[in-house]
Amino acid sequence: MKLRIAKLPGDGIGPEVVEQAVKAVDAVCRKFGHEVEYTFGYVGACAIDRFGNAYPEETHNICMNSDAVLFGAVGDPKYDNNPTAPVRPEQGLLAIRKQLGLYANLRPVETFKGLVEKSPLKKELVDGADFLCIRELTGGMYFGEKGRKDNGDTAYDTCIYSRNEVERILKLAFEYAMRRRKHLTVVDKANVLESSRLWRQVAKEMEPQYPEVQVDYMFVDNAAMQLIRCPKFFDVMVTENTFGDILTDEASCISGSMGLLASASVGAHTSLFEPIHGSYPQAAGKNIANPVAAILSAAMMFEYAFGLMEEGKAIREAVAASIEAGAVTEDLAGDGKALSTSAVGDWIASRI
Ligand code: IPM
Ligand code: MN
């Protein structure tokens, strides 16, 4: 198969971790006889510096003409403490999601043998936890009307959802539940928010179409607690954009490090694969960041964008082997035993 991949490393540790994902992709393509072609695009702060736009049209065209997008991270501290900055790196990520119509963000949470000790939660709580968070990605407060009034002294962001937006993400969630353990948890704040009441109404209407799926409804504050009290309760969790952003950062610590959590964003056009950890500017250029989330995002790319399950599995097995062998970066290693980002990438690629 010929794979046309848009490579968008972005900012911070993005380039370092994406480079390791590329090594894994190349190794898999050699092993299984695929041809791969990368096209580089600017996104985030590096795109602002060069084009004054966090998601330039040129990058959008590259994505539209590719089969998958391999994404690093965006963000730069020089924008974080400047509330009046006219353009921000994060706008690049929001624009790419919106323009590619990526309404669903899939964030699987798994535990690795040998890493349960690294979780801040008790071993018996996390051992065997395995669930999929499905976060709505192009609606809600992120994209609703926002602004200032009263001379800038009042600010607002609107959480808005249409039936169509809710239906398509819930349909996906029911379908994933059917392929997994048939247990779906719909997370909302229906006791307070009107938009949540629409989500719950639509989910209840859809339930009869999936009689085998057991559906629970959970308020988001309770879900935040259950995630750490009893992570094994969950199979598929679906929620709106902002709740999903917050809950998936929380869920990432179940596996032991945020550097392990991969994601796929799917929807109307080219799917995008990115680690959930962000740009981690303190580590940028130091060759210390964990590349596993980016490498597992590449595994998701093979599975979700190309339907190449064996290829994805080859990456997953190599990652599991690296963890078992203790070939890990400093977030997971014992004192003095850490490997560099590139050394972990080399280890995994050569194992593949
Ligand atoms: C994420 C990130 C982004 C988000 C930021 C960088 C805009 O935190 O992908 O979870 O809030 O969606
Ligand atoms: Mn986030």
Q: Which of 49, 221, 286, 337 is catalytic?
A: 221
Q: Residue range 134-140: average pLDDT?
A: 98
pLDDT band at residue 2 under the 50/70/90 scheme: very high
| 235 assigned to active site | no
Structure pTM? 0.95
- CA 286 – ligand 2 centroid, Å: 23
- Name the residue with tokens 């599991």: 320
Beta strands in the chain (DSSP E): 2-10, 35-40, 68-73, 104-110, 130-136, 146-149, 154-157, 183-188, 214-219, 236-239, 262-266, 271-275
Instruction: Point out the least confidently predicted range of 175-189, 204-218, 327-341.
Output: 327-341
Whose alpha carbon is nearest atom 10 of ligand 1? 245
Residue 336, Cβ density class (10 Å: 0-12 exposed, 13-18 middle, ≥19 buried): exposed
Atom of ligand 1 nearest to the CA of 94: 7
Instruction: Point out the least confidently predicted range of 80-94, 150-164, 277-291, 293-307.
Output: 80-94
Ligand 1 pocket check for 276: Cβ under 6 Å: yes
Domain with CATH 3.40.718.10 in the chain: 1-103+262-352, 120-255
Whose alpha carbon is nearest atom 9 of ligand 1? 276
What is the CATH superfamily name and number for domain 1-103+262-352?
Isopropylmalate Dehydrogenase (3.40.718.10)
On the question of pLDDT at 258 being above 90, the answer is: no
Stated as kind and residue range, the H or E segment containing 313 is helix 309-324
pLDDT tens digits along 12-33: 999 999 999 999 999 999 999 9
| 76 assigned to active site | no
- Name the residue with tokens 């380039």: 15
Whose alpha carbon is nearest atom 12 of ligand 1? 245
d(CA 346, CA 327): 10
On the question of pLDDT at 86 being above 90, the answer is: no
d(CA 292, CA 328): 9
pLDDT of 334 reads 80
Q: Which of 79, 103, 142, 176 is catalytic?
A: 142
**What are 306's two structure tokens?**
């190309």
Q: Which amino acid is at 121?
A: L
pLDDT of 39 reads 98
Beta strands in 64-198 (DSSP E): 68-73, 104-110, 130-136, 146-149, 154-157, 183-188
Q: Residue range 167-192: average pLDDT?
A: 98
pLDDT higher at 349 or 120: 349
pLDDT of 255 reads 87
Ligand 1 pocket check for 93: Cβ under 6 Å: yes
| 249 assigned to active site | yes
Residues with Cβ within 8 Å of residue 224, at least 6 apart in sequence: 246, 247, 250
Does CATH place domain 120-255 in 3.30.565.10?
no
- CA 276 – ligand 2 centroid, Å: 7
- CA 175 – ligand 2 centroid, Å: 24
Looking at every residue in the chain, the average pLDDT score rounds to 96
How many C-beta neighbours within 10 Å does residue 171 have?
Answer: 15
Q: Which of 76, 188, 189, 235 is catalytic?
A: 189
Q: Residue range 56-74: average pLDDT?
A: 98
Pocket test for ligand 1, best of 76, 93, 107 (most atoms within 8 A of CB): 93
C-beta separation of 203 from 237 below 8 A: no
- The candidate with the shortest Cα–Cα distance to 94, out of 161, 141, 157, 38, is 141
Q: Which of 232, 245, 313, 346 is catalytic?
A: 245
SS3 state of residue 147: strand
Q: Which amino acid is at 139?
A: G
Q: Which residues pair with 2 in a beta bridge?
A: 35
d(CA 220, CA 216): 12
Could you list which residues have their CB under 5 Å from ion ligand 2?
245
Ligand nearest to the CA of 135: 1
- CA 133 – ligand 1 centroid, Å: 15
